[in-house]
Structure 1
Amino acid sequence: MNLKITDPEYIERFNHFAFDEVVNAEESLDTKTRYMAILATLIGCQGTDAYREMLGKALDDKVSPIVIKEVVYQATDYLGYGRTLNFLNITNEVFAERNIEMPLESQCTTTLEDRLEKGIEAQATIFGEHMNEAWKAGTINKWLADNCFGDYYTRKGLTLAEREMITFCFLSAQGGCEPQLIAHSKGNMNMGNDKEFLIKVVLQCVPYIGYPRSLNAINCINKACK
């Protein structure tokens, strides 16, 4: 359904806000970062139709298919397979429509034997040396190290700073993850994504998650700075 025909007043105001006022704001981001944040946010809020739309725009603006796939893959850590599969399928459908050959070039850097070790290294790099022992606290802590960080954060295609940024977007878009959002705000800052940068990320995602979750995210950023 063409919203310009069925809902012209709505789409006029939304398009003006999202693609003019927000994109051209003083607090805007470079093209790649903006699309990464928006796609991660749409996965986080389960916006399947909007994701398909913005995925096409991202590809039109030359965002790499590898970057896009890495955003989708990492969503599994923070939303689970049940809420990520639709987005992986949509991505594959759009890639196929555009004749993007799959599978893409491998970005994996770990094996099943060293994923725990490499995951612990990634955790310690982001959150500090105390993470070297955190995996011993319980089964889920070990899985955070070997699966969340060892299987995903160690992949090529995105830097650790970029991975922390999209994690921030997954968490802020879901809602109800404020303790984790504060922690990952700190992780972002440790990776050089400072308060001003994170606020820019939130502002660029306002059209896609609305004001309540955007204001909550800014509140978490402020708490992380204390």
Structure 2
Amino acid sequence: MAEESRYAKGLMKLAEVDGKAGEEVVAPLGDLGRYIVEFAFGDIYSRDTLSLREREIATIAMLTVLGGREPQLRVHMGAGLNVGLTPEEIEEIIIQTVPYAGFPTAINAMHVLKSHQFPEG
């Protein structure tokens, strides 16, 4: 696939996952942002086997257990909401990580979730 169409495909998938917020995150990153768009969204997120909802469940769980990635976790919690997760489901994903990664990372993730501004409705 030509690099330009790979980038365009990635931008479309990023918008589908994250709305306008995704582009705002990667735009100031220059070439790093381009690599994120092409690889993460043009190649990985565009695969067919998992839904975007399932991909965000996995991503939220991974960012929770890795710890120290709260800014990215916040972005992916927003993306999770955008692709159909509820705040209650995100809380349950965090709780599911406790037996495998421990309480400290789950506590940090829960603080991120509780500080998230959810739309009224």
**TM above 0.5:** yes
Corresponding residue for residue 124 of structure 1: 15
Please state how far the C-alpha of 1:168 moved relative to its aligned partner.
0.8
Q: Which runs of 5+ in 1 are unaligned?
A: 1-110
TM-score by length of 1: 0.47
d(CA) in 2 for partners of 1:190 and 1:223? Answer: 17
Corresponding residue for residue 180 of structure 1: 72
Written as runs of structure 1 = structure 2, the 5 A alignment for 1:1-226 is 111-113=1-3, 114-129=5-20, 131=22, 137=28, 138-225=30-117
Distance 1:131 1:197, change over 3 A: closer
Q: Which runs of 5+ in 2 are unaligned?
A: none
Identity across matched positions, percent: 33
2:47 alignment partner, SS class: coil
Between structure 1 and structure 2, the one with the greater Rg is 1
2:43 alignment partner, SS class: helix
Deviates more, 1:128-137 or 1:209-218: 128-137
d(CA) in 2 for partners of 1:195 and 1:185? Answer: 9
Higher-helix-fraction structure: 2
Please state how far the C-alpha of 1:116 moved relative to its aligned partner.
1.0
* Structure 1 outlier segments of 4+, above 2 Å: 111-114, 129-137
